[in-house]
Structure 1
Amino acid sequence: MKKILMIGAIALLGVLGGCGKETEKKEENVAAKPVETQVLKVAFNQSDKHPQYKALEKFSEELEKETNGAYKLEISPNELLGDQRAATELVQNGVIQMAVVGNPVVESFNQDFAVIGLPYLYDNMEHQKKVFTSDVLKPIFKSVAPNGFEVLGAFTAGGRCLYTDKPMTKPEDLKGYKFRVMQSDTMKKMIDYMGGIGTPMAQGEVYTAIQQGVIEGGENNEVTYADLKHYEVAPYFSYTNHLMVPDLIIINEDFYQNMDGDKRAIFDRLVKETIENEFQVWNENVEKSKKLAMDNGAQFIEIDIKPFQERIKPLQEDVANRNEMTKKIYDDVRALAD
């Protein structure tokens, strides 16, 4: 009898032991189960060599790591998802989650955005960095939420300058010259005030338009100038430094508001870190871009910008004094210059 009881006990222990191992295996399987990654599609109109693209790549790596694989980005460069206006509509409709677009694109939804893209608003890159890493632009960024998207923050795109077939050293040199500008009334007026003719056009059309004589030149930073090989059709790059227009990071409003609270906090923090990182990457790329352009025959001309600044003042005053919000933002941005 004792022998039978002992055999039964041993058998029972074996069953319990097996159950324990099975339970342990199940727990291991649960713990090891991979998190389903949500891929955030991002539209980008420049190449994959662009500093902003590189900043977004690092953002994706950090986001995937810190959310334990919950999110990562899929960045489509070179306007593969359409131009900036089309990309904005895709974000609005939730077809894609994010895009990087020029400030004038968002200005078409809220004209007050013109104030943060005013010519000669920012003294230099350090001033602009102070503004973009502060909270002074939050009210205007939130204002477009009813349109189905929100602005998360702004990237620098450096100082924009004029380039064409001759040096532009004074306003009189621009007479009769058509320069491509972003699709914005403010940008068109800017070139008109400076002495030329502002011609709104998509970025992808500029090279051919200059080549065919539809326009005489463009206005952009050294990085885009070199990246898109515009030095081949417009070899004189004149440092008017008339504009430091923000490139805005936009996100679908429904997606953003429905993010898990903890993950959204991580997301927001990484956006701020990415903006700081982009300034650094941008500065590193400017000199490389200049060298590439000069090696291909481009000339970079330093000029006195004061005559251009004087011509722009009526435009600054008109936009800054449009309403209470624009006045406050203008004053807050200028206060950070000190």
Structure 2
Amino acid sequence: MSIKKILGTALAVASILGFAASAEAKTTVRISHTQIETHPDHIGFVAFKNFVESKAGDKYDVRIFPNSSLGANEKVLELVKMNSVQFLSVSTANIESFNKKYAVFSVPFLFTSESNFEKFITDPEVLAELGSDAQKDGFRPLGAFTAGTRNFYSKTPINTVDDLKGKKFRVQAGPTNVKMMEAFGAAATPMSFGEVYSALQQGVIDGAENNELALTDQKHGEVCKYFSYDGHQMCPDLIVASEKFLSKLSDEDRKLFEDAAKEAQKAEFEAWHKRIAEAKEQAKKMGVTFIDVDANAFREKVLPLHQQLLNENPAMKAMYDKASAFDASNNK
């Protein structure tokens, strides 16, 4: 995106949101995410808002903008870097084009269990290491939301890895996801989340890959009646903050927002696990069949890709080694 376009977007957002403020006015803190208001990400940010305003409501007015109302994550991330938006929930797959080490979470089958994944992404040392380039990146992760495991869903059953051959699947933007689908023998079609429903309806794609909430919250289960549990990826949604915003805060207020991110993280995890169970039952009522596949057969197809990805992107090796060691030690 050109600087001219970014500035134009920022000015438009500023106009919509109303940047005018007097010296006495509260500081407006804007939070953006792409999900609907019943989604765990939103519930997490409500906890964030309540925490900040209960502790320092005289100073901050926290406003949440759900459902991509400020735009797609890639665009909003640019606004975060400019401090036009202060916080954003964004998948690591959307960040890897800004900093290649975030691509580590797109490596298929990096973790062997969802429990190991959740412990890793909430480790303060991991978040600190991810944010080590924050001054250059313009944003810093303060917490993480779980997004569960990513699995395939489609119009036709995926019982084995061979059932992916020749099919077109939507993936999140990022070269790692394209390589993964090629390794599976399928064609990758990157597109924004909001475009997936119509693409499925119109036959532009045969399926997609995500968690169970995509079936219900985005109504993808109206078109795709088969959901196969292969668990090929576990990509967190990071709570990223504008580095410009953080750098202007007092130590006390910075800790306030860091603690708010932890509260958001806690609330989102709790809501996530409850919502997934509900979504699965809801999807069954929509006519979706859930299929347990041999995940090892899927894993074997893409394990050779690990070394290729590390060779092509050495920036993620330190985090890859850390994740691999963490996963191994927690399996003992």
Q: TM-score range by the shorter chain?
A: 0.7 to 0.9
2:78 to 63, 85, 89: 89
Q: Deviations over 1:59-86 (max 9, x none)?
A: 1101111224323421111111111111
Q: TM-score, normalised by structure 1?
A: 0.85
The answer to whether the 8 A contact 1:109-1:144 is kept is no
Partner of 1:80: 69
Equivalent position of 2:227 in the other structure: 237
Tell me, yes or no, if the aligned pair for 1:117 and 1:246 is still in contact at 8 Å. Answer: no
Kindly indicate whether residue 44 of structure 2 is the aligned counterpart of residue 55 of structure 1: yes
| CA displacement 1:139-162 (0-9 Å, x = unmatched) | 222324313222223211111111
Cα deviation 1:93-131 (Å, max 9, x = unaligned): 222112111112210011121113321112223212211
Q: Classify the secondary structure of the residue corresponding to 2:43.
A: helix
Q: What is the distance in 2 between the residues matched to 1:312 and 1:149?
A: 31
* Residues 1:130 and 2:119 aligned together: yes
1:180 corresponds to which of 165, 170, 173: 170
Among 311, 318, 321, the alignment partner of 1:328 is 318
Which consecutive unaligned segments of at least 5 residues does structure 2 have? 1-23
The corresponding residue for 2:196 is: 206
* Distance in structure 2 (CA, Å) of the matches to 1:95 and 1:322: 34
Mapping 1:195-274, distance limit 5 Å: 195-274=185-264
Structure 1, residues 16-53: CA drift from partner, whole Å, max 9, x if none? xxxxxxxxxxxxxxxxxxx8532211111111111111
Structure 2 length as normaliser, TM-score?
Answer: 0.87
In 1, distance between residues paired with 2:36 and 2:263?
22
1:299–1:40 distance in 2 versus 1, CA, 3 Å: same
Q: 1:144 to 1:181 in 2, by over 3 A?
A: farther
Task: Check 1:196–1:142 CA distance in 2 against 1; reply closer, same or farther (3 A cut).
Answer: same
- Compute the RMSD of aligned alpha carbons: 1.7
Q: CA deviation at 1:136?
A: 2.4
Amino acid at match of 1:47: I
Q: Which residue of 2 aligns with 1:282?
A: 272
Aligned residues: 304
* In structure 1, C-alpha distance between the alignment counterparts of 2:323 and 2:128, rounded to whole Å: 12
Aligned counterparts, 1:4-15, within 5 A: none
CA distance in 1, matches of 2:300, 2:234: 17
- Greater CA deviation, 197-206 or 38-47? 38-47
Alignment match, 2:110: 121
What secondary structure sits across from 1:336 in the alignment? helix
The separation in 2 between residues aligned to 1:260 and 1:173, in whole angstroms, is 55
Q: CA deviation at 1:318?
A: 2.6
One of 133, 146, 150 as aligned partner of 1:143: 133
SS for the counterpart of 1:251 is: strand
Unmatched segments (≥5 aa) in structure 1: 1-34
Work out whether residues 105 and 183 of structure 1, in 8 Å CA contact, stay in contact via their aligned partners in 2. Answer: yes
2:122, 2:138 → 1: CA distance? 24
User: Residues of 2 paired with 1:129 and 1:155: CA distance?
Assistant: 9
2:307 pairs with 1:307: no
Q: Which has the larger radius of gyration?
A: 1
Structure 1 counterpart SS, 2:53 = helix
Contact conserved, 1:125 with 1:158, CA < 8 A, in 2?
yes
Q: Tell me, in whole angstroms, the C-alpha distance in 2 between the residues paired with 1:48 and 1:122.
A: 29
The DSSP-based 3-state class of the residue aligned with 1:79 is coil
1: distance between equivalents of 2:81 and 2:202? 35
What is the one-letter code of the residue matched to 1:73? V
Q: Deviations over 1:254-285 (max 9, x none)?
A: 11111121111122123123223322211110
The 8 Å contact of residues 129 and 276 in structure 1, kept in 2 or not, is answered as: no
